[in-house]
Structure 1
Amino acid sequence: MLPLRTLLPAVLLAALPLLQAHADEHLIERGRYLVQISGCNDCHTSGYLMAPGKVAETDWLKGDNLGWYGPWGTTYPSNLRLVLPRLSESQWLALARQANYRPPMPNQTLHHMTDEDLRAIYQLVKHLGPAGEPAPMALPPGDMPEGPVVMFPMPPAASK
């Protein structure tokens, strides 16, 4: 009979994939929660803003053709399912920490998230897998988009 000190490392080594799968599932579940409460789906998932909770998870985060028009031009929510898989986790963390996207992207939301939160979102997107088409390119101020947009008013003129 083998002594316990010989068997213990083998048992732990055999259990490692199960522990890793549980840790990954926990991160994915946390990512689901964060994507829903932080508003990621509101813009990056077509139709979600008008029917929260009714868009299938398989359609989440594929971007949208609905433009956001304002003094900055027109922006379109990117397809995170195509963008994030091209990045390593550390590249995603750096990108999120330096986020300075045009409105209506709430850059400060990414800045306030913990590394664990950002990793969870990254793991969810990787779990969902690549899907969909790239979002339209942003348009500069003054260029009118062809498709539907949400129009933001111009800010009031500064008083002298």
Structure 2
Amino acid sequence: MVADGRTMISRISFLMLGAALLAISPVEYGFAQSVGSSDTDLIERGRYLVKIAGCNDCHTPGYVQTGGMVPEELWLTGDRLGWHGAWGTTYPANLRLYMQGVSVEEWIQNARTRQLRPPMPWFALRDMTETDLRAIYSLVRYLGPAGEPVPAYVPPEQEPVGPLVRFPVGSQ
């Protein structure tokens, strides 16, 4: 079967486009999975949400102090800065490690039902759309596992060690 000139040019253009896309694949940049266009849209939405919803503010070391100028490969790796109040001392979780152990369905269920200790605004997760929660999950999974586990929760009757933010007595 012989194709006309326009068909051949179209096929060549399509193959060149495909080669170009493979050349800039996320795999080249150390990311574990390649993504399709709908996944890419979700990842971009997740990237936007993580920035504007304040996820990076606590879950990315140095994010606030640098005005958000932290390389993406360090995003959401948790922080050793404790948040101390009447509830005890909590630490921003390493979401990059956490998300590796849960399915998207488990993530959505947890986001809808878990009431986490302060200062985590669990109600913000609860009120997000399912698409937004899927987008955040997609971004975190796309970024892949990184960093170390954060310190464990410290009950109120114990004194934490290390840097922390102290809320006034009586604040919940």
1:137 corresponds to: 152
For the pair 1:80 / 2:98, whether they are aligned, the reply is no
State the shift of 1:145 in Å. Answer: 1.1
For the pair 1:70 / 2:88, whether they are aligned, the reply is no
The whole-number CA distance in structure 1 between the counterparts of 2:169 and 2:74 is 33
2:66 corresponds to: 51
**Structure 2 unaligned regions, length at least 5:** 2-20, 22-34
The whole-number CA distance in structure 2 between the counterparts of 1:83 and 1:52 is 25
State the shift of 1:88 in Å. Answer: 0.7
Contact between 1:67 and 1:148, CA under 8 Å: does it hold in 2? yes
The whole-number CA distance in structure 1 between the counterparts of 2:157 and 2:56 is 28
The whole-number CA distance in structure 2 between the counterparts of 1:53 and 1:77 is 17
The CA deviation string for residues 41-67 of structure 1, in whole angstroms up to 9 with x for no partner, is 011000112113200000000000000
The whole-number CA distance in structure 1 between the counterparts of 2:157 and 2:81 is 17
1:102 corresponds to: 117
The whole-number CA distance in structure 2 between the counterparts of 1:117 and 1:51 is 26
> Please, what is the CA RMSD of the aligned residues?
1.5
Contact between 1:62 and 1:132, CA under 8 Å: does it hold in 2? yes
The CA deviation string for residues 87-144 of structure 1, in whole angstroms up to 9 with x for no partner, is 1110110011012110000011001100000000000000000011111100000211
The whole-number CA distance in structure 2 between the counterparts of 1:154 and 1:120 is 37
The whole-number CA distance in structure 1 between the counterparts of 2:108 and 2:45 is 16
Contact between 1:68 and 1:74, CA under 8 Å: does it hold in 2? yes
1:148 corresponds to: 163
The whole-number CA distance in structure 2 between the counterparts of 1:110 and 1:151 is 24
Letter in 2 for 1:22: S
Matches within 5 A, 1:1-80: 21-80=36-95
The whole-number CA distance in structure 2 between the counterparts of 1:150 and 1:84 is 26
Which 4+ runs in 1 deviate beyond 4 A? Answer: none
Q: Secondary structure in 1 aligned to 2:89?
A: strand
